[in-house]
């Protein structure tokens, strides 16, 4: 079906149309709708409810990317679908809720280490938002036992309960001279603001229906809807609509649930879909005024994509590690190897294990099969301990999203992502892997498993913020340099992403944008 060949239905103009019902879109919708702005949210995937979050690793795959494929190319093709969400709540409804802050140094990588670029803002600019968000959502942790954490208010809740696996593995790290502390988790260790505490049953990535894990279905999306915002799901944005002179965004064209092309006009257009689809949407919106894509006068749209390369390791112990208990992410964090010239990495230690799925026990030894695999699962179900190191990838212009020659079901080019790690990053992976093996041995593990090859977690960049249009797409509030009423939100704005999970920073950054939009609405919605 060609968009051009179908008639369009025009809808009433609203104050803001938001593409994407994940964390960033939900935060902005909640804030603007509370201020009596008329808001429409367009979400490509289904309209999930808490009651849809079934306790099954198999069923959890419905929550992951189900839209147009992404071509993964380059010397070291990245991973996409596992990291992305599909439907209301976005990737946050299956995220692990590990919420470390970016470090002070992450904002000044070019100045300190000659690598990448500095952010146009400093840690101190985001610090009040980190503090505000952690109080709102209820982060469990212990800032004293997390000595690497940058300045900020103590966490509002104590750490979650930990189990034998964490105790054993912490000893291993201690035995090789490395510190560990409770992972800061956006998961409630106690009842908090009417929400129930975690039951330590390890279903985080299948979606937490009891409300212990912070995600948009709990608060920001229902708040938005209660305030009068309209959520249209199965609505795939295909183009940003521009004024005749190409100077302003006037709305978004999309395909609705029935396959009909429609347009939603608005004073302000906010792209809060994930960074891959955000880039694709801008590039697919090219016009005669913007022949290389909307917001792309800098040629920066799609460049400087970021992901984390990670090393996963496991060891077998001859005791009951209670490894079915806890959270999907980890019980402990270690950041002794952070903010160094050779690069940063973080350890995430002692996750709750499930038997099946990509990260399940049965996939620890990926070449094992036959009755030996059954034997392994039987032993590992009690005795496995595992750790993961997450390494920092530096931004490089050639790690880039462009439009592919392949088209989706609507006749629009899909995204192509070229990715490669440089020599420093490959060396860092080897360091992480070797250190992990030492820690597991020092913890008393018998047989060890360590992947020879990294895997990827988290996706950011491609829409990076900066001081001006020379090498960035938007300012630190997400305002597009080329178009004053086009706002970008989410991890795509990150100039660098350190070696920590991005969701806390997305929250903080988006709250900052929300404040700015609220205070300066008149300058956006002219």
Piece of 49-57, 183-191, 390-398, 479-487 that binds other proteins (CB under 8 A): 49-57
Q: Which residues of 310-339 are buried (b: 16+ CB within 10 A; e: fewer)?
A: bbbbbbbbeeebbbbbbbbbbbbbbbbbbb
Window of 1-9, 373-381, 429-437, 486-494 that interacts with other proteins by CB under 8 A: 373-381
Task: Identify which range of 39-47, 144-152, 294-302, 343-351 contacts other proteins by CB under 8 A.
Answer: 39-47
In the chain, the largest separation of any two C-alpha atoms, in whole Å, equals 71
Binding status of residue 199 toward other proteins by CB under 8 A: yes
190 binds other proteins (CB under 8 A): no
Residue 81 or residue 518: which is nearer to other proteins going by CB? 81
Smallest gap from residue 66 Cβ to other proteins (A): 4
Q: Which is nearer to other proteins, 356 or 523 (CB)?
A: 356
Nearer to other proteins, 449 or 477 (CB): 449
Residues 104, 151: Cα–Cα separation, whole Å: 9
| Interacting residue with other proteins among 20, 22, 25, 67 (CB under 8 A) | 67
Does position 324 interact with other proteins (CB under 8 A)? The reply is: yes
The answer to whether 46 contacts other proteins (rule: CB under 8 A) is yes
Tokens at 98, concatenated: 């590990």
Instruction: Compare residues 213 and 332 and give the one whose CB is closer to other proteins.
Output: 213
CA angle 21, 23, 27 (to 5 degrees): 90
**53 near other proteins, rule: CB under 8 A:** yes
Work out how close the CB of 238 gets to other proteins at its nearest, in angstroms, rounded to a whole number. 17
The region of 144-152, 257-265, 305-313, 369-377 touching other proteins under the rule CB under 8 A is 369-377
Query: Which candidate, 526, 522, 511, places its Cα nearest to that of 477?
Result: 511
> In this chain, which of 18, 41, 208, 437 binds other proteins, going by CB under 8 A?
208
Q: Is 356 in the site for other proteins (CB under 8 A)?
A: yes
DSSP letter (8 states) at residue 211: S
Of the candidate residues 25, 31, 42, 62, the single one contacting other proteins (CB under 8 A): 62
Is residue 196 part of the contact set for other proteins (CB under 8 A)? yes
Interaction pattern, residues 111-150, with other proteins; x per rule: CB under 8 A = ----------------------------------------
Q: Is residue 452 part of the contact set for other proteins (CB under 8 A)?
A: no
Using CA atoms, how far apart are residues 273 and 67, in angstroms rounded to an integer?
A: 12
CA distance 401 to 503: 21
The length of the chain in residues reads 526
With binding defined as CB under 8 A, does residue 82 bind other proteins?
A: yes
Q: What is the SS3 assignment for 282?
A: helix
| Letter string b/e over residues 256-294, b meaning 16 or more CB atoms within 10 A of that residue's CB | eeeeebbbbbbbbbbbbbbbbbbbbbbbbbbeeebeebb
Could you tell me which of 458, 426, 45 has the C-alpha nearest to residue 254? Answer: 45
Beta pairing class for 400-407 and 413-418: antiparallel
Among 104, 210, 286, 420, interactor with other proteins by CB under 8 A:
210
- The pairing of strands 236-242 and 486-488 is unpaired
Binding residues for other proteins, total number by CB under 8 A: 57
Nearer to other proteins, 48 or 345 (CB): 48
In the chain, DSSP finds a helix count (H) and a strand count (E) of 10, 18
Q: Count Cβ atoms within 10 A of the Cβ of residue 170 and give its class: 0-12 exposed, 13-18 middle, 19 or more buried.
A: buried
Burial of 199 from C-beta contacts in 10 A (0-12 / 13-18 / 19+): exposed
From candidates 33, 86, 129, 383, binder to other proteins by CB under 8 A? 86
Residues within the interface to other proteins (CB under 8 A) = 45-59, 61-62, 64-67, 69-70, 72, 79-82, 86, 196, 199, 201-203, 208-211, 324, 355-358, 360, 362-363, 366-367, 369-371, 373-374, 377-378, 381-382
């Amino acid at each position: 079906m060609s968009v051009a060949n179908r008639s369009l239905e025009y809808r009433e103009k609203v104050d803001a149309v938001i593409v994407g019902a994940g964390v960033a879109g939900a935060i902005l919708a909640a804030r603007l709708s509370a201020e009596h702005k008329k808001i429409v949210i367009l979400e490509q995937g289904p309209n999930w409810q808490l009651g849809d979050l079934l306790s099954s690793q198999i069923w959890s795959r419905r929550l992951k990317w189900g839209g147009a494929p992404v071509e993964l190319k380059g010397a070291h093709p990245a991973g996409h679908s596992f990291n992305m969400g599909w439907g209301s709540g976005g990737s946050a409804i299956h995220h692990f809720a590990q919420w470390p802050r970016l470090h002070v140094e992450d904002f000044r990588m070019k100045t300190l280490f000659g690598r990448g670029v500095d952010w146009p803002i400093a840690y101190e600019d985001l610090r009040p938002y980190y503090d505000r968000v952690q109080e709102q959502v209820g982060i469990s942790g212990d800032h004293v036992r997390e000595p690497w954490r940058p300045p900020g208010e103590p966490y509002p809740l104590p750490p979650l309960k930990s189990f034998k696996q964490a105790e054993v593995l912490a000893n291993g790290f201690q035995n090789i001279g490395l510190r560990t502390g409770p992972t800061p988790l956006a998961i409630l260790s106690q009842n908090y603001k009417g929400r129930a505490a975690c039951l330590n049953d390890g279903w985080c990535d299948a979606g937490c229906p009891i409300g212990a894990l912070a995600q948009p279905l709990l608060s920001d999306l229902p708040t938005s809807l209660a305030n009068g915002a309209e959520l249209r799901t199965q609505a795939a944005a295909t183009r940003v609509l521009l004024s005749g002179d190409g100077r302003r965004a006037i709305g978004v064209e999309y395909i609705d649930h029935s396959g009909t092309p429609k347009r939603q006009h608005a004073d302000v257009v906010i792209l809060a879909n994930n960074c891959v689809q955000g880039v694709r949407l801008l590039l697919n919106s090219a016009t005669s005024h913007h022949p290389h894509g909307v917001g792309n006068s800098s040629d920066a749209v799609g460049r400087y994509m970021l992901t984390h390369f990670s090393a996963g390791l496991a060891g077998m112990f001859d005791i009951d590690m209670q490894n079915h208990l806890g959270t999907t992410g980890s019980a402990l964090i270690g950041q002794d190897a952070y903010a160094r010239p050779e690069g940063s990495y973080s350890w995430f230690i002692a996750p709750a294990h499930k038997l099946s799925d990509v990260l399940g026990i049965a996939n620890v030894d990926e070449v094992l099969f036959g009755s030996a695999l059954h034997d392994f699962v039987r032993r590992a179900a009690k005795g496995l301990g595992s750790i993961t190191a997450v390494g920092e990838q530096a931004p490089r212009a050639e790690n880039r999203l462009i439009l592919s020659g392949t088209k989706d079901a609507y006749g629009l080019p899909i995204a192509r992502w070229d990715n490669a790690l440089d020599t420093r990053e490959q060396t860092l992976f080897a360091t992480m892997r070797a250190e992990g093996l030492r820690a597991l041995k020092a913890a008393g593990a018998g047989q060890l498993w360590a992947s020879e090859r990294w895997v990827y977690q988290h996706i950011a960049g491609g829409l990076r913020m900066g001081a001006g249009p020379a090498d960035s797409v938007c300012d630190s509030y997400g305002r597009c340099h080329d178009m004053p009423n086009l706002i970008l939100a989410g991890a795509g704005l990150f100039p660098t992403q350190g070696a920590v999970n991005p969701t806390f920073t997305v929250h903080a950054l988006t709250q900052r944008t929300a404040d700015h939009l609220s205070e300066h609405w008149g300058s956006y919605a002219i």
